[in-house]
Amino acid sequence: MKNDNSILLSEASIATSKEVRQGTLLVEDGKIAGIWYRNDDGTVNYDGDDIDYSSLAEKILETRSPQAKLIKLPGKVIMAGAIDAHVHFREPGMTHKADMVSESKAALLGGVTSFIDMPNNNPPATSLERLREKAALAEGRCFANWGFHIGADNSNPETLEKCLSEGQANAFAGIKVFMGSSTGNMLVDKGNALEDLFSITGSRILIHSEDEAIIKANLEKAKEKFGEDIPMREHENIRSRTACIKSTIKALEMAMKHGTKLHVCHVTTAEEVEMIRTAKQYNPEITAETSANYLWFCNEDYDRLGSLVKCNPAIKTAADRAALRQAVKDGVIDTIGSDHAPHMMEEKQHPYLSCPSGMPSIQQEISVLLTVASQEDIPLSRVASLISEKTAELFGIEDRGVIKTGIAADLIIIDPNKKFIVGESDEGAAGAAYKCGWTPYKGAELTGMVEEVFLAGRHVVAGGRLIDGTPHGTALKFTKF
């Protein structure tokens, strides 16, 4: 979609994975048309001349883009719009919980300009035909840019390999493999199927890593001890750290054996962090993701929030949370995915055995990450990599995810110092635009809010609120390896 508006963003800090520097950015026809950085001596190079940075905006308006709208942003931070490669928007099949309209709107308000939806829908998206059906549902309805992962099951590895060999790989971002059961009943537990999937070279393999046999045994023990009235706090013992560790060991061993482009989703334990750190030395194509939820909550929150923080894999200990925060800082964790998984509040009030796992979080994830970054001295350059740049690289997303001339101007403007309490307003991450209407972050004090959002150069969020009710998201394009 062509956007003829010209916008000049001036005096902000521009954060990329390489650096954070004050600069000015010009948007024309939906693309980043120019970037100028302020030098340490207060000058900037413009058309071969060093001029005072304070006069740059006026110079650009006079000589290059007189129709541009000037927006001065002192104290603010510009980043590429976030790309969330791990969401469950529940469409098709579970639209009473969420749909692409409501959740993409919440995503945009939180600073997520592109999302990649997981395949555990009803019916599951395990074929190109199902992906085409999802694309038809997304077209013209999404407030953020959209794409999909395709799902693996015990019977389709050969079909997936055929898709890749026949040049149809660009229809999806990656292949999702559930090594532990979760919403959607897409468990892959046959040894030969896993070996076949990990042998695939033309796509990234994403895994939900929990050992099913351990989970089932733990659940039976809990039933013997508590009967039908299992406390929510038992969730971390049922979906245990051992279940995560055993499954991840198996996945990493296969990835090292086959050279798999493996992406370990929602890492939750300190042990997995160290295993992944080591495995990357043997297979640099191994990457890892965690969720803001695991950087914020720990098992102590079960007493306060109960079922609202029941998710798969389970939230672990404060020590695990600290290890994950360090892994985000030092680069063992490559990306942040929200694992946005909404359920209605009525469903979450069910007893343990019938209470679904998952929580809505995409509207809060960037602010949670910014808050954690502030607490742990994680530089904004790492945040820029985690939320957009690395994700675009891993999944071959064209024309998105970086701040570079010629790239689509999907941009977010952050007030890094803004403090707010979730639930006290509907502005940006303080609100909950989810169809389910709730967030486990209600009452949390966060620091750092996305206030303005540009989608392909179009100003779509101002002051933390949608400018209009028109969805402007378009399909993401993927280039495989």
Q: What is the DSSP string of 387-410?
A: IIIHHHHHTTBTT-SS--TTSB--
Gap between the Cα atoms of 187 and 180, Å rounded: 6
Handedness of CA 336, 288, 19, 5 (dihedral sign): negative
| 462: phi then psi, degrees, rounded to nearest 5 | -130, 130
User: Based on the number of CB atoms within 10 Å of its own CB, is 223 exposed (0-12), middle (13-18) or buried (19 or more)?
Assistant: middle
CA distance 99 to 318: 33
Per-residue model confidence as pLDDT tens digits over 315-351: 999 999 999 999 999 999 999 999 999 999 999 999 9
- φ, ψ at 160 (rounded to 5°): -65, -40
Q: How far apart are CA 261 and CA 74, in angstroms?
A: 41
Helix, strand, or coil (residue 123) = coil
The length of the chain is 481
The structure tokens 């049922």 sit at: 238
- Residue ranges in 7-151 assigned as alpha helix (H): 56-63, 100-110, 128-138
Per-residue tokens: 107 = 């995503």
Contacts of 38 (CB under 8 A, 6+ apart): 21, 22, 23, 44, 53
CB 246 within 8 A of CB 209: no
Q: Residue 189: its pLDDT value, please?
A: 82
Whole-angstrom distance, CA of residue 38 vs CA of residue 260: 42
The pLDDT value recorded for residue 2 is 41
Residue 114's pLDDT is 99
Three-state helix/strand/coil letters over 43-62: EEEECCEEEEHHHHHHHHHH
pLDDT for res 207: 98
3-class state of residue 323 by DSSP: helix
The pLDDT, as a whole number, for residue 419 is 98
Residues contacting residue 412 through CB under 8 Å, at least 6 positions apart: 78, 79, 80, 81, 82, 111, 113, 366, 450, 452, 453, 454
User: String of b and e for 388-422 (b: at least 16 CB within 10 Å)?
Assistant: bbbbbbbbbbebbbbbeeebbbbbbbbbbebebeb
**Residues in the chain with pLDDT values less than 50:** 1-3
The dihedral of CA 220, 224, 229, 235: what is its sign? negative
Angle made by CA atoms 265, 271, 275, in degrees to the nearest 5: 70
pLDDT of the residue at 1: 36
Which residues are paired to 458 by β-bridges?
A: 455
Model pTM above 0.95: yes
Among 466, 476, 386, 474, which Cα is nearest to 428's?
A: 466
Give pLDDT, residue 167.
85
- The strand ranges marked E within 375-440 are 411-421
Model pLDDT, residue 481: 62
Q: State whether the Cα torsion 192-198-201-206 is positive or negative.
A: positive
